[in-house]
Protein backbone atom coordinates (compact mmCIF):
# COMPACT_ATOMS: atom_id res chain seq x y z
CA UNK A 1 0.00 0.00 0.00
CA UNK A 2 1.38 3.42 -0.90
CA UNK A 3 1.67 6.01 1.83
CA UNK A 4 -1.83 6.92 3.00
CA UNK A 5 -3.07 9.07 5.86
CA UNK A 6 -5.00 6.99 8.37
CA UNK A 7 -7.01 9.00 10.89
CA UNK A 8 -9.20 8.25 13.88
CA UNK A 9 -11.67 10.84 15.10
CA UNK A 10 -14.27 10.99 17.87
CA UNK A 11 -16.85 13.11 16.05
CA UNK A 12 -19.52 13.12 18.81
CA UNK A 13 -22.25 13.10 16.21
CA UNK A 14 -22.30 13.90 12.49
CA UNK A 15 -26.03 14.20 11.86
CA UNK A 16 -25.93 18.01 11.64
CA UNK A 17 -25.09 19.13 8.08
CA UNK A 18 -22.79 22.01 9.05
CA UNK A 19 -20.76 19.92 11.52
CA UNK A 20 -20.47 16.98 9.11
CA UNK A 21 -19.31 19.23 6.26
CA UNK A 22 -16.75 20.90 8.56
CA UNK A 23 -15.37 17.49 9.58
CA UNK A 24 -15.28 16.18 6.00
CA UNK A 25 -13.57 19.40 4.80
CA UNK A 26 -10.91 19.00 7.50
CA UNK A 27 -10.36 15.35 6.51
CA UNK A 28 -10.03 16.36 2.86
CA UNK A 29 -7.59 19.17 3.77
CA UNK A 30 -5.27 16.76 5.62
CA UNK A 31 -5.63 14.25 2.76
CA UNK A 32 -7.24 11.51 4.85
CA UNK A 33 -7.58 8.26 2.94
CA UNK A 34 -8.70 5.79 5.63
CA UNK A 35 -10.67 7.33 8.48
CA UNK A 36 -12.13 5.69 11.56
CA UNK A 37 -15.03 7.60 13.16
CA UNK A 38 -16.47 6.92 16.58
CA UNK A 39 -19.65 8.21 18.23
CA UNK A 40 -21.32 9.01 14.90
CA UNK A 41 -24.78 8.99 16.56
CA UNK A 42 -26.41 8.18 13.20
CA UNK A 43 -29.64 6.18 13.22
CA UNK A 44 -29.15 5.24 9.56
CA UNK A 45 -26.14 5.19 7.26
CA UNK A 46 -24.05 8.36 7.52
CA UNK A 47 -24.77 10.95 4.84
CA UNK A 48 -21.90 11.14 2.33
CA UNK A 49 -22.29 14.71 1.07
CA UNK A 50 -18.81 16.23 0.96
CA UNK A 51 -16.98 12.90 0.99
CA UNK A 52 -15.49 11.26 -2.11
CA UNK A 53 -15.60 7.58 -1.29
CA UNK A 54 -17.43 4.98 0.76
CA UNK A 55 -18.57 5.14 4.36
CA UNK A 56 -19.08 1.75 6.00
CA UNK A 57 -21.16 2.39 9.08
CA UNK A 58 -22.39 0.43 12.07
CA UNK A 59 -25.25 2.26 13.77
CA UNK A 60 -28.16 1.79 16.14
CA UNK A 61 -31.75 2.97 15.84
CA UNK A 62 -31.19 5.35 18.78
CA UNK A 63 -29.80 8.82 18.09
CA UNK A 64 -27.16 10.24 20.44
CA UNK A 65 -25.87 6.76 21.02
CA UNK A 66 -22.84 4.89 19.74
CA UNK A 67 -22.00 4.26 16.13
CA UNK A 68 -18.67 3.68 14.37
CA UNK A 69 -17.69 4.12 10.75
CA UNK A 70 -14.76 3.52 8.44
CA UNK A 71 -14.37 5.95 5.54
CA UNK A 72 -12.38 5.01 2.44
CA UNK A 73 -11.32 7.64 -0.09
CA UNK A 74 -12.04 6.76 -3.73
CA UNK A 75 -8.37 7.31 -4.71
CA UNK A 76 -7.36 4.13 -2.82
CA UNK A 77 -8.40 1.69 -5.57
CA UNK A 78 -9.94 -0.78 -3.13
CA UNK A 79 -12.31 -3.72 -3.22
CA UNK A 80 -14.28 -4.57 -0.07
CA UNK A 81 -14.49 -8.35 0.32
CA UNK A 82 -16.35 -8.63 3.63
CA UNK A 83 -17.98 -6.49 6.32
CA UNK A 84 -18.65 -7.61 9.91
CA UNK A 85 -20.76 -5.54 12.31
CA UNK A 86 -21.22 -6.07 16.04
CA UNK A 87 -24.86 -5.89 17.14
CA UNK A 88 -24.29 -3.12 19.71
CA UNK A 89 -22.90 -0.75 17.01
CA UNK A 90 -19.57 -0.42 18.82
CA UNK A 91 -17.42 -2.51 16.47
CA UNK A 92 -16.81 -2.82 12.76
CA UNK A 93 -14.44 -5.03 10.77
CA UNK A 94 -13.84 -4.81 7.04
CA UNK A 95 -11.73 -7.05 4.86
CA UNK A 96 -10.54 -5.40 1.69
CA UNK A 97 -7.94 -5.41 -1.03
CA UNK A 98 -6.04 -2.19 -1.72
CA UNK A 99 -3.91 -2.24 -4.85
CA UNK A 100 -3.87 -6.08 -4.85
CA UNK A 101 -2.84 -6.43 -1.17
CA UNK A 102 -5.28 -7.74 1.47
CA UNK A 103 -6.02 -5.82 4.65
CA UNK A 104 -8.25 -6.23 7.68
CA UNK A 105 -9.38 -3.06 9.44
CA UNK A 106 -11.08 -3.48 12.79
CA UNK A 107 -12.49 -0.60 14.78
CA UNK A 108 -13.93 -0.84 18.28
CA UNK A 109 -15.27 1.86 20.53
CA UNK A 110 -16.00 0.55 24.00
CA UNK A 111 -17.49 2.24 27.00
CA UNK A 112 -15.01 4.00 29.26
CA UNK A 113 -15.93 2.09 32.39
CA UNK A 114 -16.18 -1.67 32.29
CA UNK A 115 -17.45 -3.33 35.49
CA UNK A 116 -14.66 -5.24 37.24
CA UNK A 117 -11.92 -3.60 35.19
CA UNK A 118 -9.98 -0.90 37.00
CA UNK A 119 -7.04 0.99 35.55
CA UNK A 120 -5.35 2.94 38.30
CA UNK A 121 -1.98 4.61 38.62
CA UNK A 122 0.70 2.40 40.18
> What does each of the 122 residues of the chain score in pLDDT, given as a tens digit?
456 688 888 888 887 888 888 888 888 888 888 989 888 877 666 667 778 888 888 876 665 567 888 889 988 889 999 998 877 667 788 999 998 899 988 877 766 555 655 544 44
pLDDT at 102: 94
SS3 per residue for 21-32? HHHHHHHHHCCE
pLDDT at 81: 94
Task: Quote the pTM value.
Answer: 0.78
pLDDT at 122: 43
> Are the beta carbons of 34 and 7 closer than 8 angstroms?
yes
Greatest C-alpha distance within the chain: 47
> Are the beta carbons of 110 and 119 closer than 8 angstroms?
no
pLDDT at 62: 61
**Residue 57 counted as domain residue:** yes
HSE of 86 in the Cβ direction (CA atoms, 13 Å)? 15
> What span, in angstroms and rounded, lies between the C-alpha atoms of 46 and 68?
10
For residue 19, give the 3-state DSSP assignment.
helix
**Residue 90 counted as domain residue:** yes
For residue 101, give the 3-state DSSP assignment.
strand
Give the total number of structural domains in the chain.
Answer: 1
pLDDT at 3: 63
Pairing of strands 32-38, 5-10: parallel
CATH number at residue 80: 3.60.10.10
In terms of residue numbers, what domain contains 50?
5-108
**Residue 114 counted as domain residue:** no
State phi, psi for 72 to the nearest 5 degrees.
Answer: -125, 120
**Residue 119 counted as domain residue:** no
pLDDT at 12: 84
**Class of residue 17 by CB neighbours under 10 A (exposed 0-12, middle 13-18, buried 19+):** exposed
**Residue 71 counted as domain residue:** yes
Amino acid sequence: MATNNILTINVRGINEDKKRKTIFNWINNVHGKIIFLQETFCKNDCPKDGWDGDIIHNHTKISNSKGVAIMLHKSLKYNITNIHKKDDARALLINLDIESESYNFAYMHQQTRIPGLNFSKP
